[in-house]
Amino acid sequence: MIPPSISFTIIILVILTVKVMKTAAVCKAERCIWVPGPVIVGAGPSGLAVAACLKEKGFPSVVLERSHCIASLWQLKTYDRLRLHLPKQYCELPLMAFPSCFPTYPTKEQFVAYLQAYAGRFDIRPVFNHTVVSAEYDERIGLWRVRTMAAAQDGGVEYVSRWLVVATGENAEAVVPAIDGMEDFTGTIMHTSLYKSGDMFEGKKVLVVGCGNSGMEVSLDLCNHKASPYIVVRDSVHVLPRGILGLSTFGLSMWLLKWLPMRTVDRILLLASRIMLGDTARLSLRRPLLGPLELKSLSGKTPVLDIGALAKIKSGDIKVRPAIRRLMVHGAEFVDGRSEDFDAIILATGYKSNVPSWLKEREFFSEKDGLPRKPFPSGWKAEQGLYAVGLTRRGLMGVSMDARRIAHDIEQSWKAGATQPMTT
Ligand SMILES: Cc1cc2nc3c(=O)[nH]c(=O)nc-3n(C[C@H](O)[C@H](O)[C@H](O)COP(=O)(O)OP(=O)(O)OC[C@H]3O[C@@H](n4cnc5c(N)ncnc54)[C@H](O)[C@@H]3O)c2cc1C
């Protein structure tokens, strides 16, 4: 008589062998790897959070990352003076708090150190320099086939798993708008993802295109490095103080939303902003018709939390310009007919998701913006073991909520599939 534990192990081995054989029969890459747990694409905060929540439950996962490090957005594509825009308690990942010695708004170095400690604590070791170039659900075997291209060699590896977690972020690719005459401009043009500090622009006239949080902060940084920044404000924008009555504006909004409807909270925020910042329309910063929270929830457009740029606009150190009509050899012509020379142009024009470029799935993810079609809080789970984390425009707080739900759901699905946790 074979003991039950040995019989169970034999059954598991048979199931795995059949899966591996089926998988090998359809594998198109040079190397094919069967992953017993989920495949997570992206080693930013989202991918790390899901891997940690799974690890805590005893489930292994494989994290694939195109870059050579974790949190590549934060480590490689952000400017030196960056701090978290929101207070630290709203930016923690699940299961590990920020060190109490960190300030309310941690610096990017502190945030990266926290993420490194997080990866260390949960022993998350991503497969670096592996860009996922395609992922497809194979109906024949009921599994996801995730194909990567390694930076150093070609040929590729195919990972095969029951679950696929998309954690490639809302900021995977820089958005570079096509501006008429761009190729004629002889000065420097760079996206904010390449901007580090105003050092190299001292004494220069710089046009910053875009007035979101990054555009405002880069303009302020340029000012502080003795450059002359001009900021292009094409659309309406909500600028709010970062704090109100000693509380963070974000925290206050969250608290008020527990008791009051969103429109009433918006009115309170706008009144406080008017008292503290004055009429921003007089500085050519028109406010949208919808309030800041309603606009964020309907369109995902984040209000600017002012950390000093507005004072520089008031003093004239940062000058506001309308939309660009075209670029010329030495400068730009604006829609109001004015032309000015510039030494450099910085595009604070944002980022976009890259999901449609590699995921062969169109029902859950929109092809247009690469984000889940269903809004928060439903945009984390699709069919056939597909999940999305950090893609519903809710920042790091949304990341934590998604990660916990995903890990719980995978645990249920694993148990239902009668497969036991295994260590990697
Ligand atoms: C300047 C700036 C400041 C911000 N400040 C805040 C803040 O204060 N608070 C807040 O809540 N949010 C903030 N955000 C939003 C920010 O997006 C999130 O904080 C966080 O980085 C999201 O984590 P993520 O893991 O979802 O995405 P990311 O951090 O972008 O990580 C995604 C990872 O996926 C990898 N990847 C992408 N495509 C592939 C592929 N095909 N194959 C393999 N790997 C791939 C990328 O290399 C990257 O490492 C800020 C964003 C920016 C740009």
Instruction: Please state, in angstroms and rounded to a whole number, the distance separating the CA atoms of residues 350 and 82.
Output: 15
Q: When comparing pLDDT for 346 and 421, which is higher? A: 346
Same domain, 340 and 373: no
Of 348, 320, 278, 295, the residue nearest 82 (C-alpha): 348
CATH code of the domain containing 357: 3.50.50.60
The pLDDT-based confidence of 38 (bands split at 50, 70, 90) is: very high
Same domain, 202 and 150: no
Instruction: Look at residue 148 and tell me if it is in a domain.
Output: yes
Of 230, 215, 197, 420, the residue nearest 339 (C-alpha): 230
Tell me the CA–centroid distance for residue 76 and ligand 1, in Å.
11
Tell me the CA–centroid distance for residue 172 and ligand 1, in Å.
7
Minimum CA distance residue for ligand 1 atom 23: 45
CA-to-CA dists, residue 39 to 55, 375, 389, angstroms:
13, 24, 13
Minimum CA distance residue for ligand 1 atom 12: 395
Q: Which atom of ligand 1 is nearest to the CA of 394?
A: 11
Predicted local distance difference test score (pLDDT) of residue 322:
97
Ligand 1 cavity residues, CB under 6 Å:
41-47, 64-67, 71-73, 78, 82, 84-86, 91, 131-132, 167-172, 214, 354, 358, 390, 395-396, 399
Q: Which of 67, 70, 85 to mutate to test the pocket of ligand 1 (most atoms within 8 A of CB)?
A: 85
Same domain, 314 and 362: no
Q: Which atom of ligand 1 is nearest to the CA of 72?
A: 49
- pLDDT surpasses 50 at 36: yes
Q: Which of 109, 168, 248, 393 to mutate to test the pocket of ligand 1 (most atoms within 8 A of CB)?
A: 168
Q: pLDDT tens-digit profile of 89-109?
A: 999 999 999 999 999 999 999
Tell me the CA–centroid distance for residue 394 and ligand 1, in Å.
12
Same domain, 345 and 384: no
The pLDDT-based confidence of 154 (bands split at 50, 70, 90) is: low
Q: pLDDT tens-digit profile of 2-17?
A: 554 444 444 444 454 5
Tell me the CA–centroid distance for residue 49 and ligand 1, in Å.
12
Q: Amino acid identity of 229? A: P
Same domain, 159 and 41: yes
Minimum CA distance residue for ligand 1 atom 27: 169
Structure token digits, residue 392: 């519903």
Same domain, 22 and 75: yes
Instruction: Look at residue 223 and tell me if it is in a domain.
Output: yes
Q: Which of 84, 171, 195, 220 to mutate to test the pocket of ligand 1 (most atoms within 8 A of CB)?
A: 171
Same domain, 321 and 378: no
How many independent structural domains does the chain possess?
2
Predicted local distance difference test score (pLDDT) of residue 156:
84
Considering only the C-alpha atoms of the chain, give the largest distance between any 2 of them, rounded to a whole number of Å: 91
Q: pLDDT tens-digit profile of 269-322?
A: 999 999 999 999 999 999 999 999 999 998 889 999 999 999 999 999 999 999
Predicted local distance difference test score (pLDDT) of residue 10:
47
Instruction: Look at residue 138 and tell me if it is in a domain.
Output: yes
Minimum CA distance residue for ligand 1 atom 30: 169
For the question of whether the overall pTM of this predicted structure is more than 0.85, the answer is: yes
Predicted local distance difference test score (pLDDT) of residue 150:
79
Minimum CA distance residue for ligand 1 atom 14: 395
Q: Which atom of ligand 1 is nearest to the CA of 390?
A: 26
Instruction: Look at residue 237 and tell me if it is in a domain.
Output: yes
Mean pLDDT along residues 261-269 = 97
Q: Amino acid identity of 328? A: M
Instruction: Look at residue 421 and tell me if it is in a domain.
Output: no
Tell me the CA–centroid distance for residue 42 and ligand 1, in Å.
9
Q: Which of 351, 370, 399 is the last residue of a domain?
A: 351
DSSP letters spanning 292-330: HHHHHHHH-PPPEEESSHHHHHHHTSSEEE--EEEE-SS
Predicted local distance difference test score (pLDDT) of residue 27:
63
Q: Which of 302, 324, 351 is the last residue of a domain?
A: 351
The pLDDT-based confidence of 29 (bands split at 50, 70, 90) is: low
Predicted local distance difference test score (pLDDT) of residue 151:
67
Instruction: Look at residue 126 and tell me if it is in a domain.
Output: yes
Q: Which atom of ligand 1 is nearest to the CA of 90?
A: 11
Instruction: Look at residue 278 and tell me if it is in a domain.
Output: yes
Mean pLDDT (the chain) is 92
Tell me the CA–centroid distance for residue 352 and ligand 1, in Å.
10
Structure token digits, residue 411: 């645990």
Where in 360-399 does DSSP place strands (E)? 386-388
Same domain, 104 and 132: yes
Same domain, 108 and 181: no
Instruction: Please state, in angstroms and rounded to a whole number, the distance separating the CA atoms of residues 229 and 219.
Output: 6
Mean pLDDT along residues 372-399 = 93
Cα four-point dihedral sign 23, 24, 26, 29: positive
Same domain, 160 and 201: no
Same domain, 328 and 361: no
Same domain, 74 and 105: yes
Instruction: Look at residue 424 and tell me if it is in a domain.
Output: no
Of 146, 134, 2, the residue nearest 62 (C-alpha): 146
Q: Which of 334, 351, 368 is the last residue of a domain?
A: 351
% the chain with pLDDT above 90: 85
CA-to-CA dists, residue 234 to 53, 335, 351, angstroms:
42, 10, 17
> In the beta sheet, which residues pair with residue 321?
232
Task: Give the domain range for residue 285.
Answer: 175-351
